[in-house]
């Protein structure tokens, strides 16, 4: 896909790849087998003689007594169970089994979705400290039990825009946080707002296309004026990392103070933490614990504000992260200069070193030959940590990564093992920190998904899924027509309660 091309033509020329839903047939599940075997063959008995009539009478009486006792015990347990269940039903605890009936709106006139992102919130962070507010959303909502799977590369801008569009980076165009146009040589960076970079149709544009209102607070791509989306003043905040989290939450809450017809139907809210801390200290530092506690307090502030307005149970709150985090240290390094005996990789060939190695050789060099020689050196045992880097032609990458169908993606991509880094040459620098961007199959790259609201069952756990599915979840809740995307058309049906 050439940069600056029409996003819709790109989608029609390449058929989106649906992701299977979590609901699959159980035809392949093994049949149950008996744990105990009973031999009823009389020939195996210890005695071959027949029992006497008196023995039969005694045995018969014993069986009647045992049966009577068992029945009495069963009735007693049944009585205790049902009386206990009725007494618990009036408590504040969520039901043990999710309700299959959507909750009707009590105050709002129509569905409203608030999509909230906590950058770098690795799955499992919610257990680092007490997170009562996040726990409340989980207990009364639907959670991806083992986390949300990011798209590859597991970086901030590609993933936030995949959540917003339902497209893999190869189709929405933001293939990295930084990259070059292969034709013009122009550079994309995280402050680039020219619509030629941003393909596909993000949710805020979809919402406006359907005659509804949207408001965005710091979401990558939301400042781009594209299609019917003009980034309206007061409803589209330009990114400013110095704005306190409390101010962001209060601004979103203020939308609910507007007249009913003016409340945005779709809203986004973004926090930089705990990604900000993770890059400095890794995933296991007390500073991460503090950051997670702060995010939880912001969720509490949001819940309290919605409750004060009487709309908490009406609003569909979807809390996600964009990726996880893993600790890195400079003892886990791979140096491209160490490949010199096999092939020289000049610095100007390399677009990004870590955590995705991206190489575009100049004309006159065969990318396949470069890949062959690099892998020969890396697997030789003579390059430090060489076994922790595998280089591919992009079309030969595992298909599950969906990282080939764009000219913006360089022809050579290196997959780096979790926690390792690639650098050009050796230095004396020694530092530890955290990183992300690795293969999205790596568990440490997973983040969170929690859905709370009228269409999300209480206390429900669902299997992990890729974040390209979220677009269709939002359009289904809002009951609007979405744009073509890589998500499954049936995924929302498998996750959401049926519409009222």
Strand residue runs (E) in 48-134: 112-118
Strand residue runs (E) in 119-157: 142-144
Q: Are 274 and 322 in contact, with CB atoms under 8 Å apart?
A: no
User: Which pair of structure tokens corresponds to residue 236?
Assistant: 């589209």
Angle at 298 between CA 316 and CA 445, to 5 degrees: 75
Q: Are strands 214-217 and 266-271 parallel, antiparallel or unpaired?
A: parallel
Identify the bridge partners of residue 421 per DSSP, sorted by sequence position. 333
What is the rounded end-to-end Cα distance, in angstroms, of the chain?
41
Identify the bridge partners of residue 334 per DSSP, sorted by sequence position. 422
**Where do the H-state alpha helices sit in 216-274?**
245-255
The dihedral formed by the CA atoms of 284, 467, 316 and 90, expressed in degrees to the nearest 10? -60
Catalytic site residue from 156, 206, 447, 475: 156
What is each CA distance from 99 to 102, 203, 312, 319, 481, in whole angstroms? 8, 28, 18, 21, 27
**Where do the H-state alpha helices sit in 221-351?**
245-255, 275-281, 286-308
Q: Give the span between the Cα atoms of 425 and 337, in whole angstroms.
A: 6
447 catalytically annotated: no
Q: Give the span between the Cα atoms of 161 and 288, in whole angstroms.
A: 25
Q: Give the span between the Cα atoms of 59 and 124, in whole angstroms.
A: 58
Tokens 């669902």 identify what position? 462
Q: Give the span between the Cα atoms of 432 and 255, in whole angstroms.
A: 42
What is each CA distance from 163 to 156, 159, 322, 467, 488, in whole angstroms? 11, 6, 8, 6, 13
Q: Give the span between the Cα atoms of 429 and 349, in whole angstroms.
A: 23
Q: Give the span between the Cα atoms of 72 and 177, in whole angstroms.
A: 69
**Exposed (0-12), middle (13-18) or buried (19+): which is 55, by Cβ within 10 Å?**
exposed
Q: Are 214 and 235 in contact, with CB atoms under 8 Å apart?
A: yes
* Ramachandran angles phi, psi of 154, nearest 5°: -80, 65
Active site amino acids = 156
């Amino acid at each position: 896909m050439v940069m600056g091309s029409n996003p819709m033509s790109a989608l029609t020329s390449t058929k989106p790849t649906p992701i299977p839903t979590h609901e699959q047939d159980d035809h392949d599940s093994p049949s149950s087998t008996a744990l105990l075997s009973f031999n009823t063959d009389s020939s195996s008995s210890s005695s071959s003689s027949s029992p006497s009539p008196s023995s039969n009478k005694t045995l018969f009486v014993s069986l009647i007594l045992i049966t009577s006792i068992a029945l009495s015990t069963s009735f007693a347990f049944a009585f205790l169970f049902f009386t206990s269940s009725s007494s618990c039903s009036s408590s504040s605890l969520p039901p043990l089994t999710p309700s299959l009936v959507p909750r009707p709106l009590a105050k709002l006139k129509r569905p409203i979705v608030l999509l909230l992102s906590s950058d770098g919130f690795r799955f499992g962070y919610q257990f680092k400290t007490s997170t009562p507010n996040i726990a409340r959303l989980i207990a009364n909502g639907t959670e991806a039990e083992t986390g949300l799977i990011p798209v590859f590369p597991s970086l901030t801008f590609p993933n936030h825009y995949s959540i917003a569009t339902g497209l893999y980076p190869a189709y929405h165009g933001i293939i990295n946080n930084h990259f070059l146009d292969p034709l013009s040589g122009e550079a994309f960076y995280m402050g680039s707002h020219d619509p030629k970079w941003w393909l596909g149709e993000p949710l805020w544009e979809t919402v406006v296309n359907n005659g509804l209102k949207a408001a965005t607070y710091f979401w990558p791509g939301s400042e781009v004026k594209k299609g019917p989306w003009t980034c309206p003043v007061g409803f589209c905040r330009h990114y400013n990392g110095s704005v306190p989290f409390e101010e962001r939450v209060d601004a979103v809450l203020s939308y609910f103070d507007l007249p009913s017809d003016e409340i945005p139907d779709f809203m986004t809210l973004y926090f930089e933490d705990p990604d900000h801390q993770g890059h400095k200290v890794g995933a296991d530092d007390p500073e991460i614990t503090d950051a997670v506690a702060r995010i939880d307090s912001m969720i509490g502030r949001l819940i309290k504000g919605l409750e004060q307005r009487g709309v908490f149970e009406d609003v569909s709150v979807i809390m996600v992260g964009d990726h996880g985090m893993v600790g890195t240290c400079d003892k886990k390094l791979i140096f491209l200069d160490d490949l010199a005996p096999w092939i020289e990789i000049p610095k100007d060939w390399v677009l990004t070193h870590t955590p995705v190695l991206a190489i575009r050789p100049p004309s006159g060099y065969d990318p396949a030959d470069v890949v062959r020689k690099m892998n020969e050196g890396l697997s030789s045992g003579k390059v430090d940590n060489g076994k922790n880097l595998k280089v591919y032609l992009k079309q030969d990458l595992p298909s599950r990564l969906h990282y080939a169908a764009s000219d913006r993606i360089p022809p050579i991509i290196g997959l780096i093992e979790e926690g390792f880094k690639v650098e050009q040459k050796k230095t004396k620098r020694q530092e530890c920190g955290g990183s992300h961007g690795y293969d999205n199959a790596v568990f440490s790259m997973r983040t969170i998904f929690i859905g709370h609201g009228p269409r999300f069952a209480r206390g429900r756990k669902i299997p992990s899924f890729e974040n390209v599915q979220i677009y269709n979840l939002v359009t289904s809740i809002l009951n609007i027509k979405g744009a073509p995307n890589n998500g499954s058309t049936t995924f929302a049906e498998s996750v959401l309660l049926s519409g009222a």
